Structure formats: C-alpha cells, structure tokens
Amino acid sequence: MCRLALKTAIEPFSPYEVLQAMEAMQEGYDGSGLGLLLRGMEFEDFKYNPRFPILSGIANTDKAWRRLDDFMEDLGYELKYDHRFRVDKSYVEDRDRFRYFVRAYRMPDRFADATTEEREQELLATRLALRKNGEENGRDLSVFSFWPDVAMIKEVGWPLQIGNLLGLHDGQIKSRVCMAQGRQNTNYGINLYACHPFFVQGISTMTNGENTAFVPIRDWLLGRDFPGYMGYQSDSEVFTHILHYAIKQLKLPLQAYKHIITPLSTKELDNHPQGDFLKGLKSVCRRLIIDGPNAVIGTLPDETCMLVMDQKKLRPATVGGREGAWAIASEMCGVDAMIPDRDPSFDFQPMREHTIIIPPERKELTIWSQYDQFPLSQAA
Amino acid sequence: MVPVRSIPVEPGSLTYPDLPWVIQHREDRCTLCGHCTTVCPKESIYLAYRRQRVPKLEILSKKRGNDYRTFVGIRQKPNPKHACIGCGMCAMVCPNEAIAPVPNTIENRTLFFDNIKGEAPKRGGRRNATGPTLLDRIMFDRISMLTDPALDAGRHEFTVTTTLGRILSPEDYLKRSSEGGWIPPTREIFPFVIGSMSFGALSPNMWLGLLQGVAYCNEVLGIPVVMCTGEGGCPPWVLKSPYLKYIILQIASGYFGWDEIIRAIPDMQCHPAAIEIKYGQGAKPGDGGLLMWYKVSKLIARLRGVPEGVDLPSPPVHQTLYSIEESVMKMIQTLSMAFDHKVPVYPKISASTSAKAVLNNLVRNPYAGGLLIDGIDGGTGAAYNVSMDATGHPVASNVRECYLDLAAQGKQNEIPIYAAGGIGKNGNVAQNGMALVMLGASAVHIGKYIMQATAGCLGNEQNRCNVCNVGICPKGITSQNPKLYRRLDPDKVAERVAESFMSIQTEVKKIMAPLGRSQSLPIGMSDAIGINDKDAADRLNIKYVC
Ligand code: SF4
Ligand code: SF4
C-alpha cells in the first residue's frame, strides 16, 4: 500500500520532516519510489523571487545536462539560481545520476508583457519539450516540474535513503508546503514519471489506491487536446489532470472537484440546493467519475491544500494540526510525526462527502461537504 | 414396378421426413384427446384412421394368416404450408407425453419450396445463426486484485444507470447554464432498454404486460427501465397516462400511429422518454417495417389510421427526404420541436460500414440525442429470409469503431451510442450487454430476449417457431387474434419483466464489482475485456487472451 504525507506551514520547513513521517508510516510500504513536491520555496543561499519558474528533474549524464543548459538558453531563459544538492552517493546503489537539479530561471524578455495564461502555456510547453528531449535521448533527462515556487524530486528507493542521498536534512532547501508519496504505481513498469505526486501547471496531486476507471478517463482527457494531458505512466495521473481541468479549464471552484470525481447520486441531488446544476455537471463530466479506492491529496498554486476520498471511502486518510501548521497523511502516525504539538482530538478523517481544504492562511481547515451549498454564483 | 402415373408425384411432393421438424407420436400413450391437433398453430397434424396388420397363426390348422385392425393415430401433413415449426405446443398440451417435434437434422426440403406462387420466403423471429456469439466469448478479465477492500455486489451501492440524450461538453454546459441557454434534455435510464416492438407486431396482452412490468420496475423496484414502441404508435390512453415517461416513441418511414400521437400531445401528462427515428433495422437493413394483413386487426387499424386486414409495409426510406443527412437533420429538429425541445430524439440505423458517416453527421447536429446501431443479429416481426439471414453487419465491431471515432474527437461523452442486435440471444443478456458497454455503448436494446424471458417465446436460432409474422403465435405474443393472445396473461408477463430486470441488475453488479467499478457504468472500459480470438481482439482493439 502506498503512503502519503503532506505538511503545510506558515514557517518554511525542511522536507526531511515529511520523509521522517513517511518512515513512521513505513509498514506495508514497498520502497519502490519516492516523489516529493515542495511549494513556497526558501533557499539557504539564495534570496528566491517567487516569480521565477523553477525547473526540477534529473540529468543522468553530462551530455544531457549540457543539452538542458543549451535548450534553456536558446529559449532565452536566464539562469538565476542553480541549487546544488550535497549528494552522498553512499546512499544509492550504482545509479547513473549525473545531476539532480532545481534551477530558478528568469523568463525570456518577450514574456515581460505576456498574460498569465501565455506565461503558463509557455512553462508547460517548455517542460514538455524537455521531457520529450529526454525521452528521445534514451531517457537521459527527466523533468518533473517547471513552475514558479515549486520544486519536485522523484527517485527510486526508500524515502529516508533518498533524503540522505540528497542531503535534504541540511536545511539548504525549505518550503511551506511539502507533499510526499512513497511507492510508485506498481501496475505499470518502473518509471520515474510514474511516481506521485503528479504535476501540471501548478496543480499537483498524489493518491493511494488503484484507479479502476483509468482507461475511460484517460481516453476522455486525451480527447481534450490539451498538451499537458499526457504521460499516464500511472493510473493516478488523471486525478491531477481532472483537478487541473476543473480549476484551470472550467474555472470552477475547488469544491467542484469532488462533485466531478465522485458526484452525489441523482436521489441525493434531488434534495440539493443546486441539484439541477450539479446533475448537469455530473452528466457532462460523467467520464471523469472515479471509482476508487482512493484518497487524493493535492495542492494548488496559492498554497491551498486539499484532501478528498473516493465515494465509498475505501482508503484511509487523516488531517490534523494547529493554527499555522497542518498535516495530511494516509496514516495517523504520519500526522503525529509531522505535527506532534497539536491536539489529536481535533484530528479529522473525512468521509465520502467531504473535501478538506486548508486555505493559504492556514488558520483553520474547512471541512466542506458535498451536501452544502455549492459556491458558484451561476449555479444559483 | 408400379406404373409411374399411378403414384401422384409432383415437383413439390414431399414426405414428412423432408420437413424441418418431424413429429414423433407414440400411439401407445395417446388417448386421442385431440388437444394437440387443436392447439397446433400450423394445422400440421391431424387425426387419421390407419389400418394395421396383425399376424395371425392358427395353431391347430397350422396355417398362417392376417388380421387387420383399424386405429386412430396422429399424422403430420407433408405440405410445406402446414410444415411443423417445432413450436412444441402439442407436447405442451398433451396430457400423456405422447407427442413431440424433433428437429430434422438430415433434410429440410421445404427450403426449396417455400416460394410457392413466387412469394419469396418470409418469416418472423431471428437470424438462425447458432452457437456462441462474439459477445458471448468476451471475458471480463481486469479483476481488481491490487487493492482491497474489493467491492461487494450485494453490499455496496452501485450506480448502474446511463444517460439517454445529448450531453454537452463541460465548457458548453457551463456557458449555457450561466447564460440561461438551452440544455438538451436527458434521462437517467437503466442501460438495458426494451427494444422497439410495435403495438401491432406484439399482441395487446404482451404489450400491456411489458408496460405494466416496466412501470413496476420504475415505481416499485427503482430500476428506471424504458421501452420503445416500435413503429405503430401507442394506445391513446397510454399516451395520456403518466406511464408515457417510460416509453420511447418510435417514428419510422410509414409514420404509422403518429396521427394519434400528435393529436394526444396537448393532453399528455408527461413527456415520453425519447423519440426514436427508425432509418434502419439490423434484421432487415434497407427494408421497411412489414405488418402483414393477418395482424391488422380492428384495434391496430384504428391506432395506425388504416383499413382493417391490409398489409402494412413501410417504405424502406423516409420518402419525403433526399438523403440521410438531410433526413436526420430535418426529422430530428422537427420532432425535437414538436416536444418543445424537452425530449431527446435519436435515430436508429442498421449496423453498417457507413454508420460512422451518420454518426459524424450527428456530432454536428446539436439536437441529436444519440445513435442506436442495430446489428445483423437483431430480431424482427416479419422480414424476407434473405434480408434476415444475409444482409447487415454485426454490431460489436460497428459500435467499437464508432466509439473510437468519437473518442478520437473527444466526444464520446456527448453522443451516446446505443447497441442492439443479438444481445442475450443465447441467454447471456447481462454479459453481452456489459461487453458492449465496455466496447463503448452507453446502453443496449433487447427485444428477443425480452420475448423469451418474459413471455416464453418459443423461437430459437434453429428456426423453431419464428412465425411471428403471420399472426399465429402459439404463445399469444405476436398475434392479434384474441383466441391466441388470451393465452398470455399480462400480469404474468409483468411479473417476468420485473424478475428479469432484477436479475439483470444483479448480474451487472456482479460484473462491475470485480472490476472495481461501482460509481458509473464502465462505458468504454476496454481494458477490462478480452477475447480468445486474435483477429477479433485486433479488430475490436481489445486484449487477446488464451
Ligand atoms: S410442434 Fe407445433 S407446429 Fe409442430 S405439430 Fe406440434 S403444435 Fe403443430
Ligand atoms: S412464440 Fe410467438 S413470438 Fe415466439 S417465435 Fe413463436 S410466433 Fe414468434
């Protein structure tokens, strides 16, 4: 079974804390991979401007590394910061990784007056082009994200082992949000792109469990003709893309996500204040209904964090914390490890109808129920 | 040798072992009650006097001799017109198990003579293709073993409904709902629809029994089953009743019954479930409906607005229209408008290599509520044998192709594809239907299965019975003769409808649970199916398993 942990705090913290929580939840975890997403970045040796997009990934060879450099330069990106992990090779068994990179760039001048949408499109296109570049060159280059204020690390192995490998305990790199997932999807061959969390245009999710409705959902997303809806090395990648689709394409509030992936039954909607609208939404988004068993944990560009369950709540997940710091984990002991100084009696395990939202202020969490009023003016 | 002329032999002279079914009669059991001859729909058998030689041995005179006795026995008429159809009614009514038809596996000479007077052979029923169908061979092989707890078909909640009607893209929906635009009407229905069988093809008892059963499924069992009328309208009291919402009204090229329907619109208490425009039928593509004169009773004549006792062939095409594109466009729009744009309207076509062209037309027509593709294995009330046997296209690959075409355009959720033709013909109705769903159908229509399961239709794929066209249905299912249809108790039909749909629903859940699906019908979940035939797997774009 996969283990999930997310911590969000006003004060930036080291991702190592989250890895330790993963360790606490290690039972049942097979150690085949780790994915980390950091958001709200702080570097010890660089005053980071959160407008600079950060490119994260791995270059396996010197050649790939140079190709990456040239590629970015040709596009007109100016390298502002190149984070150096203090790699301790004693933690990896014979792996040919030339460089784990987290590099901040300034966008090319031609984007000075571009709209947000244009800039976002450009970042996505660049990431995908680099990914393709790596795939065309014997997979010597992997790129996980290219977005302001976000860094991602993915590697095969045990969470702590990877943390030690990259020296993540040294406080060089910190963030306000960190999410981690252990074990990549075992349904498909081992591939770093199959490691959760998944990322597209600032939106990221990770999941435990299996997505049985994967193929019809994937087929439908592919039909959207949106360049970022690709990959699908893991059946969980569609959860990220659905969230992206709901928020970025349909421009719906976060609450719509739950109504899309696990809509209420027609009978329940008959008694819902916006039943008619939601019934319509359910039918137009029918191909995006998931079947679980899953807990989906995600973060949005504004540092909002969220957690939802499948319709039958067939997977565990707990959220707990205190003002300023919150944690979501697939196991209670994970929450304990991340925020020991909280009142555990306020921990909450969402039910099938809940969306847990931790807003960027991180004062308190919102437990939003699908039965509640849907926050959309046009639905009224 | 006897002079030839003394034996009356004509080209068409046949004898009973030349017939497709041979009657076996056991004189030792027969009590001469006469039930069998009375019930026989074909008047195939008759009581006949026969003489039997009884050998006589006179022991004292040491002479051999003969005695004769007469007896009354059951005999079969060798005339093709009266050829036994194997319905087995005689066996059913015989109190002594003295009689039964057996299929003649050696010879069927009537095949060469069923065109007397130059009439090409016609029949009702099915295609007579035996053995497992392609759908029967599809396996659900993606068992969700990686995660637990697995789903429990008995304990968990399942959503097994589907959408009838056009669905907008999410973008379009949000735009229109914020601007107050028209949102095409949809219905949530059970994915197994009682396919079009007309009031006319079916007897009043059968039709009303079905409707009663459908109402029970909806109102008591909570299974939203709908049924389609077929061409020929609907009794006026049904049109004005709240049951109309369970009915898909069909309009076909004869427009039979539409006078009544149009007249009833102002008095309708609710809208019909949908309107089906029939352009083609899988069992007899390119051929219109055919209600033979035997079945045009007074009631049927009134409903259809025609004189009694005349043949009612519908033209093969909608005469007023120039092309299918135009026809689809105009008729869909007109009918949608007739019902205030509040009722989904979709066309039904025969499965065909040109189905994709029709589909792509529908994609561009905002009023089109779906496409029903009827495969060659579909049944019919009446058709020429040659159409039924050899004309058409199997449904599976046709539906798959259309689905993949829609998926390539990202429109697979917008135009639902419905499939019909041979679903459940060997009894595996839920399995066949779900296989089609996973190939991409949003729902399936079932006709013959319903007749067999709910009314005990005797027809099978070996041409048993299949005389639905001539009004002599021995079970009273497809006859307009009150003597025959009174045999069928509508309440019992209704009960069987309810039982059948309850069991289909359970089986659907039993199929979905191991696949880990419960929240929505697994439409297009082609990763869940496999077949042990490489060519079929390639054609359908699914897994080959062995
Ligand atoms: S099987 Fe049917 S058609 Fe044949 S003799 Fe018996 S009742 Fe008549
Ligand atoms: S029982 Fe009636 S409906 Fe069935 S095949 Fe015979 S004639 Fe047709």
From CA A68, how far away is CA A56, in angstroms rounded?
11
Nearest residue by C-alpha to atom 2 in ligand 2: B473
Q: Does ligand 1 lie within 6 Å of residue B90's CB atom?
A: yes
CB contact under 8 A, B161 and A216: no
Last residue in a domain, options B113, B144, B176: B113
User: Is residue B373 one of the residues assigned to a domain?
Assistant: yes
Same domain, B165 and B66: no
User: Is residue B9 one of the residues assigned to a domain?
Assistant: no
Could you tell me the CATH number of the domain that includes residue B266?
Answer: 3.20.20.70
From CA B372, how far away is CA B416, in angstroms rounded?
8
Count of structural domains, chain B: 2
Domains of chain A: 3-10+186-378 (3.60.20.10), 49-148 (3.30.70)
How crowded is residue A366: how many other Cβ atoms within 10 Å of its Cβ? 14
Q: What are phi and psi of B271, to 5 degrees?
A: -85, 150
Same domain, B155 and B296: yes
Cα angle B237, B238, B239 (rounded to 5 degrees) comes to 90
**Quick one: pLDDT band at residue A380, thresholds 50, 70, 90?**
very low
Contact B311, B334 (CB under 8 A): no
From CA A324, how far away is CA A13, in angstroms rounded?
12
Average pLDDT of the segment spanning A54-69 = 94
pLDDT at B82: 92
Q: Does ligand 1 lie within 6 Å of residue B84's CB atom?
A: yes
Q: Which has the closest alpha carbon to B296: B426, B184, B201, B386?
A: B201
Same domain, B91 and B206: no
From CA B545, how far away is CA A275, in angstroms rounded?
44
From CA B453, how far away is CA A332, in angstroms rounded?
53
pLDDT at A190: 63
Q: How far, in whole angstroms, is CA A90 from its chain's centroid?
A: 29
Helix (H, G, I), strand (E, B) or coil at A45: coil
Q: Which ipTM value was assigned to this complex?
A: 0.91
Same domain, B191 and B281: yes
Same domain, B348 and B229: yes
Residue A59 forms beta bridges with which residues? A99, A141
Structural domain range at position B46: 16-113
Last residue in a domain, options B113, B144, B175: B113
Residue B75 forms beta bridges with which residues? B46
User: Is residue B124 one of the residues assigned to a domain?
Assistant: no
Query: Å from B167 to nearest chain A CA?
Result: 6
pLDDT at A187: 47
pLDDT in tens, A286-326: 999 998 788 899 999 999 999 999 888 778 889 999 999 99
Question: Residue B395 is inside which H or E element, if any?
Answer: helix B395-408
First to last CA, chain B: 62
Query: Å from A25 to nearest chain B CA?
Result: 18
Question: Residue A359 is inside which H or E element, if any?
Answer: none
Same domain, B216 and B297: yes
Q: Which atom of ligand 2 is nearest to the CA of B472?
A: 7
Could you say which DSSP state residue A285 is in?
T
- Among B157, B188, B515, the residue with its CB nearest the CB of A266 is B188
Does B70 contact chain A (CB < 8 Å)? no
Parallel, antiparallel, or unpaired for β B274-278 and B247-251?
A: parallel
Q: How far is the CA of A365 from the centre of ligand 2 (A)?
A: 66
Lowest mean pLDDT segment, chosen from A152-156, A259-263, A267-271, B150-154: B150-154
**Quick one: pLDDT band at residue A182, thresholds 50, 70, 90?**
confident
Q: Write down the number of H helices and E strands in chain B.
A: 16, 21
pLDDT at B58: 77
Tell me the H-state helices in B409-489.
429-439, 448-455, 482-485
Sign, Cα dihedral of B134, B136, B137, B138: positive
Q: Which ligand is nearest to the CA of B472?
A: 2
Q: Which has the closest alpha carbon to B470: B112, B122, B83, B36?
A: B122
Residue A329 pLDDT > 70, yes or no?
yes
Helix (H, G, I), strand (E, B) or coil at B536: helix
Residue B400, CA distances (Å) to A85, B276, B397, B525, B527 in order = 51, 21, 5, 11, 13
Residue A104 forms beta bridges with which residues? A54, A81
Substitution candidate for ligand 2 out of B203, B451, B460, B485 with most atoms within 8 A of CB: B451
Q: How far, in whole angstroms, is CA B166 from its chain's centroid?
A: 25
Same domain, B252 and B333: yes
pLDDT at B3: 64
Question: Residue A204 is inside which H or E element, if any?
Answer: strand A203-209
Same domain, B160 and B91: no
Contact B389, B466 (CB under 8 A): no
Best A212, A251, A279 residue to mutate vs chain B (most B CBs within 10 Å): A212
Ramachandran sector of residue B440 (left: φ over 0; alpha: ψ -120 to 50; beta: rest) = left
Cα angle B105, B107, B111 (rounded to 5 degrees) comes to 115
Helix axes B448-455, B490-512, angle to 10 degrees: 120
How crowded is residue B35: how many other Cβ atoms within 10 Å of its Cβ? 18
Same domain, B57 and B175: no
Same domain, B91 and B147: no
Task: Evaluate if pTM is beyond 0.95.
Answer: no
pLDDT in tens, B118-171: 989 888 888 889 999 999 999 999 888 765 557 888 888 899 999 999 999 999
Same domain, B46 and B140: no
Q: Which residue has the tokens 């029970």?
A: B216
User: Is residue B7 one of the residues assigned to a domain?
Assistant: no
User: Is residue B4 one of the residues assigned to a domain?
Assistant: no
**Quick one: pLDDT band at residue A379, thresholds 50, 70, 90?**
very low
Cis peptide before A293 (omega within 30 of 0): yes
Q: What are phi and psi of A14, to 5 degrees?
A: -85, 140
Residue A377 pLDDT > 70, yes or no?
no
Could you tell me the CATH number of the domain that includes residue B41?
Answer: 3.30.70
Task: Give every residue of chain B whose pLDDT is below 50, as ranges.
Answer: none
Q: How far is the CA of B249 from the centre of ligand 2 (A)?
A: 23
Q: Which residue has the higher pLDDT, B149 or A285?
A: A285
Q: For residue B31, with 0-12 CB atoms within 10 Å meaning exposed, 13-18 middle and 19 or more buried, which class applies? A: exposed
Q: Which residue has the tokens 């957690």?
A: A307
Sign, Cα dihedral of B272, B508, B392, B112: negative
Question: Residue A208 is inside which H or E element, if any?
Answer: strand A203-209
From CA B456, how far away is CA B451, in angstroms rounded?
6
Ramachandran sector of residue B57 (left: φ over 0; alpha: ψ -120 to 50; beta: rest) = beta
User: Is residue B118 one of the residues assigned to a domain?
Assistant: no
How crowded is residue B438: how many other Cβ atoms within 10 Å of its Cβ? 28
Q: Does ligand 2 lie within 6 Å of residue B467's CB atom?
A: yes
Q: How far is the CA of B453 from the centre of ligand 1 (A)?
A: 21
Same domain, B87 and B167: no
Helix (H, G, I), strand (E, B) or coil at B425: coil
Residue A91, CA distances (Å) to A17, B194, B235 in order = 18, 65, 81
How crowded is residue B342: how many other Cβ atoms within 10 Å of its Cβ? 10
Percent of chain A at pLDDT > 70 equals 94
User: Is residue B8 one of the residues assigned to a domain?
Assistant: no
Q: Identify each DSSP E strand in B126-198 by its residue range.
A: 139-140, 162-164, 187-189, 192-194
Residue A38 forms beta bridges with which residues? A151, A178
pLDDT in tens, A209-252: 888 899 999 999 999 999 999 999 888 999 999 999 999 999 99
Residue A253 pLDDT > 50, yes or no?
yes
User: Is residue B129 one of the residues assigned to a domain?
Assistant: no
Q: Which has the closest alpha carbon to A93: A139, A47, A41, A162?
A: A162
Contact B430, B191 (CB under 8 A): no
